[in-house]
Amino acid sequence: MLKFKKAFLILLEIGFLVGCFSCQNQKQNEVSVKPIGWKILETPTEASLRGLSPVSDDVVWASGSGGTWLRTIDGGETWATGVIGGIDTVDFRSIHAFDAEKAVAVTAGQPAHIYKTTDGGKSWDLKLIESDQAFFDGISFADENRGYVFGDPVDGFWMIYETLDQGNSWTLLDSLPKAEEGEAGFAASASSLLAFGDDIWLGSGGSFSFLHHSPDRGKTWFRYPSPIIQGESSQGIFSLVEVDNEEIVVVGGDYLKPEGTEKNWGVFDITTKAWKEKKDSSPAGYRSGVTYFPKYSWLITIGPSGSDYSENGGDSWENFSSEGFHAIFKSREGESVWASGAKGKVAKLIF
C-alpha cells in the first residue's frame, strides 16, 4: 500500500510539472500581434500616388500625378504603368478598381474628367467631362455597380455624381447637400467620401468642417458639425472609414502643420448620430488617410509624418512608423493593407 501511495504521488507531481511546462510554453507562444512597419515595394514611376485601390492581396491599382496609372497582379512583385487617356498634365487622385482588368479613374483639377479601362490599363475611355468649375475630390462605390464621385461646391451646393453601371455613365444627383461659404473637400487621399448600403457620407473642411450624410442614396441630406480643427483652407476632415456598421471614424487636421495633433480625429456614432467623447490620445500629426482592419480590429492612419494604429477604437494611439504616405486602404477581398505616397511609393503593411 505504501509503495502504491508513493507511486501515485510521483505521478501527480509529474503531471503538475508537465502542466506548468505546457502553460509556460503556451504563454511564450502567445505573441502580441501589432503593426511592425511597411514593406516598401519597387515601382516603375516617380509620380505622386494619391489614388489607391487594392482589390485583393495580389491585385492593386494606383494613380497620381502626370496622368499616371499603376497596377500589380502579383502582390507588388511586378507593375504595369502608363498614362491615362494620354493626358500627362493632370493628377488622377481618385481610382476605383473592380478587378484586374476594370478600373475607373478621376482627375483632380482641370480638365475634370472620368475615365474607365476594361483591358487592364491598355486603353482608357472618357466617360464624363465636367465644366471648368469642377474639382473632383474623391470616389466611393457602395456595391459592384453603384458608385459616387464628389467635387467641391459649385453655386453653394456639393457636386456629387452617381453611376449605376460600373462607371460607364454618370448623372448628377437631383438633390445635393448645401455647402457653407469657404467649405471644401480634400483630394489628399480621395477618401473623404464613403458609400455603403444606402448611406453616403462626406467629410469636409475649410471654413467649416461637417460630416454630411444621406441615408437614402442621396435623396435627403443631413449634416453634423465635426470636432476636427477648422476655419482655415488647410484644415478639416481628410478621410473617413466605417467601423462594423456602428461608427464613422474621421481623421485630418491641418496639412500645413504635419506634426500637429490638435483636433485631428473623431468618432461619429451611426445610431445616435452624435460624436463620441474621446480619450486624451491622438494620432501623431496631420493624417490624410485612415482604414479599418477588422481581422485585428485595428484603426490605421497615415500622413506625411508617419503612421499610427489603435486597437481599441481610438482610446489610445501608437505611432509605429515614421514613413510618410498620402493614402491607405485595406484590400476588399483579402487580408492586406496598402499605402501609397510621393515618388511612386507603394507599400504593404507588415504585422
Instruction: Give residue-wise pLDDT tens across range 68-124.
Output: 999 999 999 999 999 999 999 999 999 999 999 999 999 998 889 999 999 999 999
pLDDT at 11 over 60: no
Q: How much of the chain, in percent, has pLDDT values that exceed 70? A: 91
- Binned at pLDDT 50, 70 and 90, residue 328 comes out as very high
Please give the pLDDT value at position 110: 86
pLDDT at 36 over 70: yes
Please give the pLDDT value at position 32: 64
Please give the pLDDT value at position 345: 98
The amino acid at 225: P
Mean pLDDT of the chain, nearest integer? 92
Comparing CA positions, the residue from 99, 86, 220, 214 lying closest to residue 167 is 99
- List phi, psi (to 5°) of 120: 70, 25
Find out whether the peptide bond into 111 is cis, omega within 30 degrees of 0: yes
pTM for this one? Answer: 0.90
pLDDT at 22 over 50: no
Instruction: Give residue-wise pLDDT tens across range 132-170.
Output: 889 999 999 999 999 999 999 999 999 999 999 999 999
Mean pLDDT confidence for 191-207: 98
Mean pLDDT confidence for 280-296: 96
Domains along the chain with CATH numbers: 34-350 (2.130.10.10)
List the grid coordinates of 226: 465635426
Mean pLDDT confidence for 232-248: 97
The amino acid at 260: G
Instruction: Give residue-wise pLDDT tens across range 75-86.
Output: 999 999 999 999
Cβ atoms of 127 and 107 within 8 Å: the answer is: no
How many Cα atoms sit within 13 Å of 208 on the Cβ side? 13
Q: How much of the chain, in percent, has pLDDT values that exceed 90? A: 88
Task: Work out the end-to-end distance of the chain between its first and last CA atoms, rounded to an integer number of angstroms.
Answer: 58
- Binned at pLDDT 50, 70 and 90, residue 198 comes out as very high
Residue keyed to cell 449605376: 164
Coil, helix or strand at residue 13: helix
Separation CA 230–CA 249 (nearest Å): 17
Separation CA 236–CA 43 (nearest Å): 31
Separation CA 101–CA 149 (nearest Å): 20
Pinpoint the alpha helices (H) of 96-140.
Answer: none
Separation CA 139–CA 190 (nearest Å): 6
Please give the pLDDT value at position 279: 80
Taking only Cα atoms into account, the Rg of the chain, rounded to an integer number of angstroms, comes to: 24
Q: For residue 175, how many other CB atoms are within 10 A of its CB?
A: 13
Separation CA 141–CA 151 (nearest Å): 15
